[in-house]
Amino acid sequence: MIRGITDSVKHLLIINVIMFIGTIAIQNGVPFRTWFALYFPENDLFQPWQIFTHMFMHGGFMHILFNMFALWMFGTAVETQLGSKKFLFLYLSAGLGAVLFQLGFYYFNYIPVHTELIASGLTDSQIIEMFTSNETVGNISPNQLALLKEAYPTYNAAMVGASGCIMGILAAFGMMNPEAKLMLIFLPIPIKAKYFIPGIILLDIISAISGQSFFSPSNTAYMAHVGGALTGFLIMWYWKRTQFNKNRWDR
């Protein structure tokens, strides 16, 4: 173990950095984003492996910097307390929980609009063609155009980043260290983890519903944060509940 970094965290940092270097070095990132970002499943660019690969992709230098800093700071503490096997299970499970929540949120917004477009007389192939080309096909009414504009961002959404995984780790850290004091970089006021982490999750929920960004960029997948944190919380709750069970999975 490198001083101050546990083994699993170290390897996750390396993988994320390698993927980021590949993204910025190869054809302006187009192939990496096409192959490894997570696209909306209705989009032809979606591939099953993207459910995992997007967790190691990042959209820019500040994105990877903040995520990797959080991974080092909280991940090292969590892995030290849980061990590598349980830490990796928690990390990847939180990433999958983030996918489930974010895609569920996408579908929640997309399906009613798509249904209304079909009811208005458009065919599914016409809708997909317009979403893919970003150009109208045939005679489109103002109402249809408004619906197309509403659903277009969801259809073409591409999700990248380890934020969902890290939110799961952050939730685990808070459950194991509820009295630890944490601070936002731009709000240097120490707040106990048991209040700080639920507060961050609440802001993510408000941002997802209202579209109002508080601390993150406007294109942040807020429900992915919520899904990752909730998954981390549920896993830790189960482990704490069964910690004295001689038949638990990790003995």
CA pair distance 141, 69, nearest whole angstrom: 49
- CA nearest neighbour of 101 among 144, 38, 28: 38
Fill in the amino acid letter for 124: D
Q: Is residue 156 part of a domain?
A: yes
Coil vs helix vs strand at 218:
coil
Question: What is the CATH classification number for the domain harbouring 208?
Answer: 1.20.1540.10
CA pair distance 89, 132, nearest whole angstrom: 36
Name the percent of the chain lying above pLDDT 90. 65
pTM here? 0.87
The pLDDT of residue 44 is 93
Look-up of token digits 């591409």: 158
The pLDDT of residue 91 is 97
What is the tens place of the pLDDT at every residue in 131-143?
998 888 778 899 9
Look-up of token digits 């700080």: 196
CA pair distance 215, 207, nearest whole angstrom: 10
Find the domain containing 162 and state its range.
Answer: 7-241
Q: Is residue 247 part of a domain?
A: no
Count helices and strands in the chain by DSSP H and E runs:
11, 4
Q: Which residues pair with 181 in a beta bridge?
A: 192
- Structurally, the chain folds into a number of domains equal to 1
Fill in the amino acid letter for 154: T
> Parallel, antiparallel, or unpaired: how do β-strands 181-184 and 158-159 relate?
unpaired
Q: Is residue 79 part of a domain?
A: yes
CA pair distance 228, 204, nearest whole angstrom: 11
- CA nearest neighbour of 158 among 62, 12, 57: 57
Which residues, in sequence order, are CB contacts of 90 under 8 Å at separation 6+? 78, 82, 168, 169, 172, 232, 235, 236
Q: Is residue 1 part of a domain?
A: no
What is the tens place of the pLDDT at every residue in 142-182?
999 999 999 999 999 999 999 999 999 999 998 888 877 77
Instruction: Please state the rounded mean pLDDT for residues 50-74.
Output: 93
